Every structure is written in structure tokens, then in C-alpha cells.
């Protein structure tokens, strides 16, 4: 091909590309979209539209979402096409959780308390890291969904073998082909992907509080095990090591009154307490390792020794707590977003009936005849057989299904709160009874029986010893029972705090 031929061909190709780009930038193809929607009058099912509005009216957060993020239920051509820079910042969950602390991450070389464990876990836990990458993947899919198809450049030669007066002839040229997307399909696809991004972001929030709750529950088990060790150590001292303990008293009885059975019974009680203490220490070590594993920390990470379960707990009322949970729940947000996504997906499927068209421009040059030609080809598929009937039916069914899942999620949250609140209320009442009545009486009973044993006559020593033995057992049973109740109480508190998505556990009056 001669240089003149090449320059002419390249010039025609460049002019064609500029014309196609100008058509796209001016949005000339959107006129056909508007006409199609006005003639067809397509709209989503009315009963599902009403349900969507009802869902949004239930939470103030989604009323704000309706005003800021949710596309209006209008024909796509009548909406303003959002810019990508506007879509990405808005695709974030509302009511984001408050940061746990404004301080820097704790030093893992120092003994960690519960807040320190949570702060490290929220940064490095593999579940949360994977969820963050899920968000980035959804963000990438949203960006990709709005990209326009690339133009295609081709080379074409016609009648290359033809012979003429000037020798070998033929036509040569570079063609440009572009597909034009109509009906606002790219915008609708990007809006569907935006809902996916928002749902994935809320999924990250849900996983965050799941990890947070599991760490808190593991901390309860660790604190319970450590405090159980302290109670049993105190009981061993009371029974066998103190001067007024059960075993020293029994030894003196054996020397004075020859009461051998009482000494054997006291030694059995001491050995049993030591066995319980050894088992409790193993349980405490296992609870420590389980806590570190739950927080994704090495087994040698130091933890604050001897943590206690506080006696004071947050106050929850069922009616206000369930309202708070339904307003904050990331699971419910995901379910509601699934309804909005299905709504948008229905619109996206509906516009697939608007045919795209392809434009191919081909400038040709004949070197033998020194003649330039220009060809243009437009191809438009006709939706005769495939009018998206099946996809529209599937999209409508998906919309109805997701609408029912919103109610299902709301019922599941209510059930979980009811169970946790039942344990919370029962344990709170039991803890109050133990603290006000049982523990004081157990301590007083022990003092009374010690005094009775000291004042007992020789013929009353055996019965006084048995009474003292029962007083020791009652004291241990009261201490362990109160500890178990506080364990149940704090487990219920942390479950409710997880449902209410509380970074800082506080009352919901």
C-alpha cells in the first residue's frame, strides 16, 4: 500500500472514531430509550413497589437512604446518570459503628485486657480481613459494570487478486466498529452492583460484631475459670491450711477425743477440694488458649491475670432493646438491600428488550484506481422470540422472595433477643438473690458453726463437726453458684450487646 493510500485510510478511520465518540458523549442514543419507555410504559409490579416503600418507612436510616442513594422508580431515561465518583463514596452502610477507641492499638507485649484483645482482633482477624476483601471485590464489580464496550478496529481488503491496467488492484482499509448500549443498561447494571457493594459492606459490619461477640463470650469463660480457681484456692485454705480449718480441727479432735472418722472425713474433703482446684486450673488454661485463638493471637500473648466479672451490669428493657436492634441490625440492612437490589434487577432485565445497535465504519482505498470509498454498516437485533420473558418472571419471583426474607430476618432477630433477654432477666434476678440473701447467710452460717464447735461439749463434738462440715460445703456451693449466675448473666449481656451492635456495652433504658 502506498503512503498516500495509508494516510487516506488512517485519516478516514480517525474521523470515523471521532464521530462515534461524539455520538456517545452527546447521548444521541438516549432519545430512543425515552421513546421506548414512553411507548412501552414498563414498570415493576405495583404490590412489590408498595412493599418496598413500606420497608423503607420502617427505619429512619433507610428514609435517608431513599433520599441519598436509592434510584427513583422512574423510567431509566428520565433519571440523571450518576457519575462514578458520586456512586463510590455513597455506597457505604448507614449508621456505621462507632470506633472502639481513639487510641492507638495496644502493645501485644503488655498484658491485654478485653478492650485490648478486641482492638487487636478487629485489625487482624482473618474473618474480617476476608470480609474487607469481599468489599473491595464488590467495589471492583461495581466499577466494571458501568464501563462502556471497547471499540473494535479491523483491517479489510477486497478484490486483492484482481488484475487491471495498473497491475494488482483491490480495495484496502481500516474499519472501526462500536456497540452502542441503549436503555440505560450500563447505569442500571452499575446501580445493581452498587446495591451489592452496600450489602457486602453491611456483611462486613455483621461479621465484625460476630467476632466481637465471640471474643466477649470467650472472655467471660476465661474470667469465670480464673475466678473459680480463686474460690477453690480460698476453700482449700479454709479447709486444710488455716488454724481454724476443718482438717486441723479434726486432728486435734483425734488426739483429744479419738475421733478418727472425723479426721478421715475432713481429709477426704480436702483432697476433693484440691482435685477440683487442679481441674479448675486446667480449665482456666484451656479458656485462656481458647480466648487467644478466638482473638487470632499467639498462645504466648500475655493477658491481664485474674480478671473479675463485674457485679454491676447494663440495664436492658425489652421493648427499647428490640427497637434499637431493628434500627441498627446489619443483617436486617442486608435483607432490605436485597429487596432494593431485586427491584433494580427487575428494571435492568426489563430494558434488555431495548436492542443495542452496532455501527461499523469502513473507509476503503483503491491503489490501482486511486479512488477512496466509505462504507457504514448498522446492525440492530430484533426482539421477536427472546423478549426476556423468563428472566422477567425470575426477577419478579426473586423480588417477592427477598421481600419475605426481610420479615424472616426480623423474626429471627426478635427470637434471638427473646432467648438472650430471658437468660438475662433470670440471671439478674438470681444474682440479686445470691448477693443479698444467699452469700451473707452462707458466711454467717460458717461463723456460727465455728463458734458452736468451739463451745461444744465433749459429747457434742461429733455433731458440731458434722455441722461445721456442712457449713463449709454450703459456703463453697454459694460461692460457685453465684459465680455461675454471673457467668450466665454476662454471657446474656454480651449476646444482647452483639445484637444491638454495641462497641461499648451500655444500658438501653
Spatial separation of the C-alpha atoms in residues 188 and 351, rounded to whole Å: 9
Spell out the residues 6+ positions from residue 493 whose beta carbon is closer than 8 angstroms to its own.
313, 314, 316, 424, 505
How far, rounded to the nearest angstrom, does the alpha carbon of residue 227 sit from its chain's CA centroid? 33
Which pLDDT belongs to residue 50?
41
Q: Are 193 and 137 in contact (CB under 8 A)?
A: no
What grid cell was written down for 432? 440479686
Q: Are 324 and 502 in contact (CB under 8 A)?
A: no
Would the pLDDT of 212 be above 90?
yes
Cα separations in angstroms, 483 against 267, 316, 345: 26, 21, 54
Which pLDDT belongs to residue 169?
63
Which pLDDT belongs to residue 82?
35
Spell out the residues 6+ positions from residue 160 whose beta carbon is closer than 8 angstroms to its own.
168, 170
Spatial separation of the C-alpha atoms in residues 137 and 208, rounded to whole Å: 18
Which pLDDT belongs to residue 242?
67
Spatial separation of the C-alpha atoms in residues 225 and 309, rounded to whole Å: 11
pTM for the whole structure: 0.75
Question: What 3-state DSSP class applies to 359?
Answer: strand
Of the candidates 237, 238, 272, 265, the one whose C-alpha atom is nearest the C-alpha of residue 251 is 265
- What mean pLDDT comes out for the span 245-259? 72
Most confident of 39-43, 59-63, 135-139: 135-139
Cα separations in angstroms, 304 against 112, 116, 168, 459: 5, 10, 91, 51
Which pLDDT belongs to residue 63?
39
Cα separations in angstroms, 380 against 111, 182, 349, 357, 436: 70, 11, 18, 5, 84
Which pLDDT belongs to residue 286?
96
Would the pLDDT of 366 be above 60?
yes
Q: Are 493 and 432 in contact (CB under 8 A)?
A: no
End-to-end Cα, the chain, rounded Å: 86
Spatial separation of the C-alpha atoms in residues 362 and 155, rounded to whole Å: 9
Question: What 3-state DSSP class applies to 152?
Answer: strand
The secondary structure of 292-354 as a DSSP string is HHHTT--TT--B-SS----S----B-HHHHHHHHHHH-HHHHHHHHHHHHHHHHHHHHHGGGS
Q: Is 28 left (phi over 0), alpha (psi -120 to 50) or beta?
A: alpha
Cα separations in angstroms, 136 against 205, 375, 386: 14, 45, 35
Q: Are 472 and 269 in contact (CB under 8 A)?
A: yes
Of the candidates 91, 65, 332, the one whose C-alpha atom is nearest the C-alpha of residue 191 is 91
- Domain covering 3-499: architecture: Up-down Bundle (1.20)
Count CA within 13 A, CB hemisphere, residue 78: 9
The DSSP symbol for 105 reads P
Give the tens place of pLDDT for each residue, 428-477: 999 999 999 999 999 999 888 888 877 777 667 777 788 888 898 999 99
For the chain, the helix, strand and coil percentages under 3-state DSSP, each to the nearest 5: 70, 10, 25
Query: Confidence band (pLDDT; 50, 70, 90) for 484?
Result: very high
Amino acid at each position: 500500500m502506498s503512503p498516500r493510500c495509508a494516510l487516506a485510510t488512517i485519516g478516514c478511520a480517525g474521523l470515523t472514531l471521532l464521530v462515534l465518540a461524539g455520538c456517545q458523549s452527546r447521548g444521541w442514543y438516549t432519545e430512543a430509550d425515552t421513546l421506548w419507555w414512553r411507548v412501552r410504559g414498563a414498570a415493576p409490579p405495583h404490590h412489590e413497589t408498595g412493599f418496598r416503600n413500606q420497608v423503607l418507612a420502617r427505619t429512619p436510616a433507610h428514609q435517608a437512604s431513599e433520599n441519598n442513594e436509592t434510584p427513583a422508580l422512574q423510567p431509566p431515561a428520565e433519571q440523571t446518570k450518576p457519575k462514578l465518583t458520586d456512586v463510590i463514596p455513597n455506597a457505604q452502610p448507614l449508621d456505621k459503628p462507632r470506633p472502639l477507641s481513639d487510641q492507638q492499638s495496644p502493645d501485644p507485649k503488655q498484658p491485654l485486657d478485653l478492650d485490648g484483645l478486641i482492638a487487636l482482633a478487629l485489625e487482624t482477624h482473618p474473618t474480617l480481613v476476608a470480609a474487607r476483601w469481599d468489599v473491595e471485590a464488590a467495589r471492583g464489580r461495581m466499577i466494571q459494570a458501568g464501563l462502556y464496550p471497547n471499540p473494535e478496529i479491523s483491517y479489510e481488503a477486497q478484490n486483492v487478486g484482481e488484475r487491471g491496467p495498473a497491475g494488482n488492484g483491490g480495495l484496502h482499509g481500516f474499519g472501526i466498529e462500536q456497540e452502542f448500549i441503549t436503555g440505560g443498561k450500563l447505569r442500571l447494571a452499575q446501580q445493581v452492583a452498587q446495591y451489592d457493594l452496600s450489602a457486602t459492606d453491611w456483611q462486613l459490619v455483621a461479621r465484625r460484631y460476630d467476632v466481637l461477640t465471640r471474643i466477649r463470650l470467650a472472655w467471660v469463660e476465661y474470667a469465670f475459670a480464673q475466678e473459680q480457681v480463686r474460690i477453690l484456692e480460698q476453700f482449700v485454705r479454709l479447709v486444710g491450711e488455716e488454724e481454724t480449718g476443718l482438717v486441723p480441727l479434726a486432728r486435734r479432735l483425734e488426739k483429744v477425743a479419738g475421733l478418727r472418722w472425723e479426721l478421715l472425713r475432713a481429709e477426704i474433703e480436702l483432697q476433693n477440694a484440691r482435685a477440683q482446684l487442679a481441674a479448675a486450673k486446667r480449665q482456666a488454661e484451656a479458656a485462656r488458649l481458647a480466648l487467644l485463638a478466638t482473638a487470632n493471637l499467639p498462645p504466648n500473648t500475655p493477658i491481664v491475670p485474674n480478671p473479675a466479672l463485674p457485679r454491676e451490669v447494663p440495664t436492658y428493657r425489652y421493648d427499647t432493646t428490640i427497637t434499637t436492634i431493628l434500627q441498627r441490625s446489619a443483617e436486617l440492612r442486608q435483607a432490605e438491600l436485597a429487596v432494593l437490589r431485586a427491584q433494580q434487577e427487575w428494571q435492568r432485565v426489563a430494558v434488555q428488550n431495548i436492542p443495542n445497535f452496532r455501527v461499523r465504519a469502513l473507509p476503503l482505498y483503491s491503489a490501482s484506481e486511486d479512488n477512496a470509498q466509505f462504507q457504514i454498516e448498522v446492525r440492530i437485533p430484533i426482539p421477536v422470540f427472546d423478549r426476556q420473558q423468563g428472566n422477567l418472571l425470575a426477577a419478579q419471583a426473586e423480588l417477592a422472595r427477598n421481600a419475605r426474607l426481610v420479615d424472616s430476618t426480623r423474626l429471627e432477630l426478635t427470637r434471638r433477643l427473646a432467648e438472650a433477654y430471658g437468660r438475662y432477666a433470670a440471671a439478674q434476678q438470681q444474682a440479686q438473690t445470691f448477693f443479698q440473701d444467699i452469700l451473707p447467710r452462707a458466711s454467717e452460717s460458717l461463723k456460727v458453726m465455728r463458734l458452736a464447735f468451739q463451745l461444744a461439749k465433749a459429747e457434742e463434738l461429733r455433731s458440731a463437726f458434722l455441722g461445721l462440715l456442712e457449713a463449709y460445703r454450703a459456703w463453697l456451693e454459694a460461692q460457685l453458684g453465684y459465680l455461675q449466675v454471673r457467668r450466665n448473666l454476662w454471657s446474656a449481656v454480651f449476646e444482647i450487646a452483639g445484637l444491638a451492635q454495641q462497641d461499648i456495652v451500655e444500658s438501653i433504658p
